[in-house]
Amino acid sequence: DTEVTQTPKHLVMGMTNKKSLKCEQHMGHRAMYWYKQKAKKPPELMFVYSYEKLSINESVPSRFSPECPNSSLLNLHLHALQPEDSALYLCASSQDFGLSEQFFGPGTRLTVL
Amino acid sequence: AQRVTQPEKLLSVFKGAPVELKCNYSYSGSPELFWYVQYSRQRLQLLLRHISRESIKGFTADLNKGETSFHLKKPFAQEEDSAMYYCALSTYNQGGKLIFGQGTELSVKP
């Protein structure tokens, strides 16, 4: 399996809801990433996990909470989001946390009402 | 500070015409440079990285350290090349964090 998968594909939630995004890879990669992407803009890095430990948090608001249960899985827990958080959330993985190529998932399209 | 500049937001060419997407970077050390492509409704994927020196889908990119540029070129554009192209920089001292340019939307007309 040489792909990064993400579920769900689409998510609509209210500002008081709690939801989670899921990302999975079975390429044996040790680094995993969450990005946020607005329409026709580049991805913005949110979090990096290396060997299941949080390595980078790009000053993301606490209403986004990442979790890496094991080396293949990455979750993003969402709570009390704002409409401006509506975006495409991308997961990526790379062989290690360094200069190696990042492989991106298809993204979850999130709409916050 | 590290920065990637893609001066053209939109580039429109006719099929069969040469295309060049510009990318300039700002970094004092030795960067790792990439071109990523995002076709409509598809995932972001790596097109080229400078260390591999490959030609993918007819595209090439040469790192010019003197001009701090990594322009993407193709001699004959095809309609299926229409997509969003992002130049990205990765530096070891930031742990391989990718710094993206703002992107250039390439439109190839028939």
Would you call A48 exposed, middle or buried from its count of C-beta atoms within 10 A (0-12, 13-18, 19+)? buried
Cα–Cα distance, B65 to B59 (Å, whole number): 19
Contacting residues of A for B98, CB less than 8 Å apart: 43, 45, 102
- Using a CB-CB cut-off of 8 Å, the residues of chain A touching B92 are 98-99
Which of the four pLDDT bands, split at 50, 70 and 90, describes residue A83? very high
Q: In terms of CA atoms, which chain B residue is nearest residue A46?
A: B97
Q: How far is B96 from chain A (nearest CA, A)?
A: 4
What does the pLDDT look like over A35-77, one tens digit per residue?
A: 999 998 999 999 999 999 999 899 999 999 999 999 899 999 9
Q: 3-state DSSP call for residue A102?
A: strand
- DSSP assignment, residue A101? P
Q: How confident is the model at residue B95 (pLDDT cuts 50, 70, 90)?
A: low
pLDDT beyond 90 at B94: no
What is the token pair recorded at A24?
A: 């999975």
Question: Cα(first)–Cα(last) distance of chain A, in Å?
Answer: 35
Q: How many CB atoms lie within 10 A of CB B54?
A: 12
Q: Which residue has the higher pLDDT, B87 or B27?
A: B87
Identify which of B15, B5, B4 has the alpha carbon closest to the alpha carbon of residue B106: B15
Task: Find, among B10, B13, B33, B32, the residue nearest to B23 by Cα.
Answer: B33
**Omega before A106 cis (within 30°)?**
no
pLDDT for the residue A42: 94
pLDDT confidence band for B85 (50 / 70 / 90) = very high
β-partners of residue A16 are: none
Q: Do A40 and B105 touch (CB under 8 A)?
A: yes
Number of DSSP helices (H) and strands (E) in chain B, helices first: 0, 11
For B96, the closest of A98, A104, A105 (CB atoms) is A98
Distance CA B15, CA B80 (A): 10
Q: Give the span between the Cα atoms of A103 and A33, in whole angstroms.
A: 10
Name the nearest CA neighbour of B39 among A106, A2, A53, A70.
Answer: A106
- Tens digits of residue pLDDT in B52-73: 777 788 999 988 988 999 999 9
Which of B102, B11, B45 has the alpha carbon at shortest distance from A4?
A: B45
Residue to substitute from A34, A101, A108, interface B, most B β-carbons within 10 A: A101
Q: Is the pLDDT of residue A99 over 70?
A: no
Question: What residue of B is the nearest CA neighbor of A35?
Answer: B98
Tokens in use for B87? 């130049």
Model pLDDT for residues B11-48, shown as the tens digit of each residue: 999 999 999 999 999 987 778 899 999 999 899 999 99
**Region A86-108: what's the mean pLDDT?**
90
Chain A neighbours among B 21-40 (CB < 8 Å)?
Answer: 32, 34
- pLDDT at residue A107, rounded to an integer: 96
Is the CB of B103 less than 8 angstroms away from the CB of A106?
no
Instruction: Please answer yes or no on whether A107 and B42 come within 8 Å at the CB atom.
Output: no
Partner residue opposite A43 with nearest CB, options B34, B90, B100: B100
- Other residues' Cβ atoms within 10 Å of the Cβ of residue A33: 30
